[in-house]
Amino acid sequence: MKIIEQFIKGKENSLKTCEDGLFTGSFMAAVIDGVTPKSRYLWQGKTSGCYAKDILLAFLGKIQRSELKSQTPEEFFSLLDRQLAIASGMPARKAGAGNSDSGVLRFTDYPRASIILYNDICREIWAYGDCQCAVNGRVYTHEKEIDRLNAGLRAFCLEYELQKGKTIEELAQLPADPGRTAIEENLKLQMAFENKNIPFGYPVLNGQGIAPSMIKVYPVKYGDEILLASDGYPVLGGTLAESEKELQRILKEDPLCFRVYRSTKGKKSCNISFDDRAYCRILV
């Protein structure tokens, strides 16, 4: 495989706080999207999303060709999930118990991540979560049903604020996005649907075991051009420049991300985008 172009950028314009990760090796490439934290708890000074990303990147860097060659997607993602459990001490706790404000961790505090990778040994793309990919121009977004629901509710709340007389500019300057605030409880409740193949269920590495039926596998062949990206790109273009152009257009037309592109979060006035982003273009 040949890496044509790769790029990563944090929404705060800092890689230190960026919860996306990009890994490229001789036989594998991967994009990791650490889940936006739903609590203020920090892991070794990092948000749960950053911590999850770093744990997975470190593990990918240790994988040997022989190990990857011998594993199925289910075995591999289970192994990654186990790394999060080990790194966070999850086996020693009961899911859903505790309160981080009192020093005891809650289920919402734990590290989570989505991942998509290209395995050059078997020439397949493996996905678990909502990272995107494309094969010869055909895009697979893996958008979550629960995200569409919450993005719609957030949009409704922002439209309501506009009806009350606020302007988009005023909403953008508020210390807290009223739409995001309105769906905060939903964002925590949705964790009950993690790794369950049911309505509103979705796949995510969370240290609690994966749902094999929610793994996506895309076979590719020699000469194919593939893209791996996080969902920080609303439109996945055939090149990095095209993807960036569409992102900048949307940020200009709809910085709060509730009309042109509905999201569960918008661009804060102090940030350069609504989300972190990572992109990798590969020639098989």
Domain ranges of the chain: 2-143+193-239+273-283
Which pLDDT score, from 0 to 100, does residue 104 have? 61
* pLDDT tens-digit map of 195-228: 999 999 999 999 999 999 999 999 999 999 999 9
pLDDT at 237 over 90: yes
How far apart, in whole angstroms, are the C-alpha atoms of residue 129 and residue 32? 10
pLDDT at 105: 74
H or E stretch including 33?
Answer: strand 28-34
What is the enclosing helix (H) or strand (E) of 149? helix 145-163
Among residues 149, 130, 142, 116, the alpha carbon closest in space to that of 31 is found at 116
Can you give the pLDDT at residue 35? 97
Q: pLDDT confidence of 103, banded at 50, 70, 90?
A: low
Tokens 């060709």 belong to which residue?
Answer: 65
Q: Average pLDDT, stretch 151-172?
A: 97
Average pLDDT rounded to a whole number, residues 61-72? 96
Using the predicted structure, report yes or no on whether residue 280 has a pLDDT greater than 50. Answer: yes
Report whether pLDDT(92) > 70. no
* Parallel, antiparallel or unpaired: strands 216-219 and 225-229: unpaired
Query: Comparing 94-103, 163-172, 203-212, 213-222, which segment has the lowest mean pLDDT?
Result: 94-103
62 SS3 class:
coil
Give the residue with greater pLDDT, 258 vs 91. Answer: 258
Beta-carbon count within 10 A of 60 CB: 21
pLDDT band per the 50, 70, 90 thresholds, residue 100: very low
Residues in the chain: 284
At the second CATH level, the architecture of 2-143+193-239+273-283 is 4-Layer Sandwich (3.60)
- Closest residue by Cα to residue 42 from 111, 114, 102: 111
Which has more confidence, 39 or 204? 204
| Residue 96: pLDDT over 70 | no
Dump strand ranges (E) for 84-174.
113-119, 124-128, 132-135, 138-140
Residue 59 near residue 113 (C-beta atoms within 8 A): no
SS3 138: strand
What span, in angstroms and rounded, lies between the C-alpha atoms of 46 and 52? 9
Both structure tokens of 237 = 């273009």
Tell me the Cα Rg of the chain: 19
